[in-house]
Amino acid sequence: MRIFLCLLACLFVAIPVLAAKPSPRQEPVSNLPQWNDFSTRQQRSLQALALCEQNPSMCESREIERWTGLVNDLKSQNKLRQLITVNRWFNRLPYKYDEYAYGELDYWADTAQLLSSRGDCEDFALSKYYTLRRLGFSAEELKVTVVYDQEKYTHHAVLMVYTGGTRYMLDSMADDMGPSPMEYRYKTIYSFNENTAWFYQ
């Protein structure tokens, strides 16, 4: 018995204690350099959407009319169908890097600009975010997430959705929302919703 207890004690000592994963640092989203300018422009896009919903003859552009049609078509659908359709709908837009679309290296386009002038990964993620918010998703369910792609050696942005006990990733590079590659391919740098930013490094 003593030998058994000794062996058990030795095994217990040999098991390393795993360090707790540090919690991300939280800051107001307004601390992100691009947020305030983007948010002001996005509010104008959302106002155009609301006006078009109320009165189709008041749609300011064909692009806003199409966006309004998407929202109206999905209002009666379940959340999973909304996620799938919103992801695929925006993914059909042509992808265009900021320097070519807006003459800046890192410009956050509002939805009206994305629909008319195109954009890149964070523009897609932001427009998906606000479309889902219009469909009733809460801010707490949604996080625009900036990652480092360890296969392509580049930064990227996706929209993470937490609903019904499941995590979904809406990626401009793929229509398939699962399984999520966050653990083995994408390394999270920071994420945010309209209230808070979380920094993981």
Query: Would 1 be classed as within a structural domain?
Result: no
pLDDT in tens, 165-190: 999 999 999 888 765 556 678 999 99
Query: Would 53 be classed as within a structural domain?
Result: yes
- The CATH number of whichever domain residue 97 belongs to comes to 3.10.620.30
How high is the pLDDT of residue 180? 58
Query: Would 182 be classed as within a structural domain?
Result: yes
Round to the nearest angstrom and report the end-to-end CA distance of the chain.
49
**Domain assignment of residue 193, given as a range:** 26-199
pLDDT in tens, 79-91: 999 999 999 999 9
Tally of domains within the chain:
1
Give the predicted TM-score (pTM) of the model.
0.88
How high is the pLDDT of residue 2? 41
CA nearest neighbour of 139 among 76, 192, 67, 80:
192
pLDDT in tens, 2-26: 433 333 333 333 334 445 567 999 9
Query: Would 184 be classed as within a structural domain?
Result: yes
Q: Tokens 């964070």 correspond to what residue? A: 122
